[in-house]
Amino acid sequence: MHATALVIFCIFFSLVTLAGFWAARWRRPAAGMASLEEWGLAGRSFGTWVTWFLIGGDLYTAYTVIAVPALMYGGGAMGFFAVPYAVITYPFMMLVLPRLWTICHRHGYITLADFVGGRYGNRWLTVAVAVTGIMALMPYIALQLVGMQVVIEAMGVHGEWPLAAAFVILAAYTYSSGLRAPAVIAIAKDVMLYVMVLAALILLPLKLGGYAHIFELASHALATHTPAASIYLKPGQYMAYSTLAIGSAVALMLYPHTATAVLSAKSPNVVRRNMAMLPAYSFLLGMIALLGYLALAAGVTTKNTSEAVPLLLMKMFPEWFSGFCLSAVAIGALVPAAIMSISASNLFTRNLYGTFARKPLDAAGESRMAKVVSLVVKFGALIFVLRLPVAYAIDMQLLGGIWITQLFPAVVVGIFSRCLHPWALLAGWAAGMGIGTGMVLSLGLKSSVYPLHLFGQTYAMYAAVPALLLNLLVAAVLTLVFRMVNVGVSADTTDATAYVG
């Protein structure tokens, strides 16, 4: 056990815990948080900087800090796809999310499923969006636990109780403070992560002989892997790399926790400013990715690639600073896990229970139910990680990205046009979900890159992309068919003026 690192880790974790409970008093309205609007979206009151930290903390998770370098450590250049996808997604979000904010603010919508329900008036399409969001979030929350678990084990602490204790604390302050808790903690988490990454990328190259030597050592180490990897993309990887970047960019915008963070902003201009500023995080992500090569150059050896960064930090830094860095990574798990659990509880309360309940809940009832559901979600993810192999959570996350991408026609196309028939959208969603899941299952849940055979050629593609193309094709064709046979649609209850500008 690394006692010094563990003490520093516990100090910073305790300070963040206190901040999480204090957040219940921060910007608290006189009426308290007895509504989903206040508990789940913090009253839509966050300005530019708080929103920037919140969205950044939401999108760049603990597992990002662990997994992206792990991909570089194990697979070389292929793992770098996370950087261009983060660059691609922000101009796309700039077009979509301010308009989404305006519509949702005007109608009091809390979730993407709320918007789809108002836009199309189709109960089953609304349920499909809600179920897809919850299914995609559960393994994502579990992966935050995986990130925290490898950090704790790197300090020599083993067993289930440290992880369980950390998530009991998370559950407690999320229950009491709602979205305000991760908003406060995100500020501390981002500052700590920047310190960690800058220190690693300035000091460690000095110890390891400079970047040219680091890339040389990493190249030699990757060549010995099975299968052999490289710091350069191979020609056969181009299609997989580009489709992973494009598909992941689409998925990132559609995750429920992204919508929750965006809808907490106080104006569409705050959203626009954030889409302009958030590429700064892509710069941070690029630096984080290089930690995988630093681990190779430093001679870090592990069969579990997720351990590469924690072991690198413990090996190359003094224990006190290693404890600080590992606490930054662990705190990085708390922010997205809290937002994700809030998003899942919002979806369940509003769009599953709320859709089928005979007696609608009032504002206070919605808030109470969402708080309880958020606890169930967290402890469900905890049991998932503690009782099942870690590989299961990773495999399910591969499916989660493919599933969430299938919401593109209903949500993104719906923001700009109601040209697609709701029943056609539901059929397209089912087709995309089925073919995307089938592709990954046929690979034994070992990869989300599927070798697609077309016209005598084989194209290795991220399964979400062909699944989405099929989804769109089915929706477009069936829209024409349903209109020809005069299948009726429900009225659009959203305000047409919200789509202008």
For the segment 198-210, the average pLDDT, to the nearest whole number, is: 88
Q: pLDDT at position 382, please?
A: 82
> Which tens digit of pLDDT belongs to each residue from 406-460?
999 999 999 999 999 999 999 999 999 999 999 999 988 788 888 988 887 888 8
Which pTM value belongs to this model?
0.91
3-state SS record for 244-283: HHHHHHHHHHHCHHHHHHHHCECCHHHHHHHHHHCHHHHH
Q: pLDDT at position 149, please?
A: 83
- Spatial separation of the C-alpha atoms in residues 366 and 81, rounded to whole Å: 40
> Which tens digit of pLDDT belongs to each residue from 29-55?
766 677 888 888 888 889 999 998 888
- Spatial separation of the C-alpha atoms in residues 150 and 311, rounded to whole Å: 9
**DSSP secondary structure code for residue 398 in this structure:** H
Question: Cβ distance 155 to 5 under 8 Å?
Answer: yes
Question: Cβ distance 113 to 350 under 8 Å?
Answer: yes
**How many CB atoms within 10 Å of residue 391?**
11
Q: pLDDT at position 32, please?
A: 67
- Spatial separation of the C-alpha atoms in residues 406 and 116, rounded to whole Å: 13
Domain ranges, ordered by start, for the chain: 3-388
Mean pLDDT of the chain: 87
Q: pLDDT at position 434, please?
A: 95
Give the containing element (helix H, strand E) for 461. Answer: strand 457-462
Q: Give all strands (DSSP E) within 38-190, no chain letters.
A: none
> Which tens digit of pLDDT belongs to each residue from 273-312?
999 888 887 777 888 888 899 999 998 888 888 888 889 9
Q: Is the pLDDT of residue 71 over 70?
A: yes
Q: Is the pLDDT of residue 385 over 90?
A: no
Angle, alpha carbons 305-307-311 (nearest 5°): 125
Q: Is the pLDDT of residue 98 over 90?
A: yes
- Spatial separation of the C-alpha atoms in residues 41 and 98, rounded to whole Å: 16
Decide: helix, strand or coil at residue 20. helix
- Spatial separation of the C-alpha atoms in residues 292 and 67, rounded to whole Å: 9
Question: Cβ distance 287 to 197 under 8 Å?
Answer: yes
Decide: helix, strand or coil at residue 293. helix
Q: Is the pLDDT of residue 389 over 70?
A: no
Kindly report the backbone phi and psi dihedral angles of residue 360, in degrees, each rounded to the nearest multiple of 5, phi listed first: -60, 145
Confidence of residue 381 (pLDDT cuts 50, 70, 90): confident
Question: Cβ distance 110 to 37 under 8 Å?
Answer: yes
Amino acid type, 494: T
Q: pLDDT at position 132, please?
A: 96
Kindly report the backbone phi and psi dihedral angles of residue 426, in degrees, each rounded to the nearest multiple of 5, phi listed first: -65, -40
Q: pLDDT at position 109, please?
A: 94
**DSSP secondary structure code for residue 411 in this structure:** I
Task: Indicate the burial class of 8 (C-beta count within 10 angstroms; 0-12, 13-18, 19 or more).
Answer: buried
- Spatial separation of the C-alpha atoms in residues 337 and 66, rounded to whole Å: 15
Phi-psi region of 178 (alpha: psi -120 to 50; beta: other; left: phi over 0): left
Which residue, among 348, 331, 374, 12, has the nearest Cα to 147 in the 3D structure? 331
Q: In CATH, what is the architecture of 3-388?
A: Up-down Bundle (1.20)
Kindly report the backbone phi and psi dihedral angles of residue 480, in degrees, each rounded to the nearest multiple of 5, phi listed first: -65, -45
- Spatial separation of the C-alpha atoms in residues 394 and 70, rounded to whole Å: 13
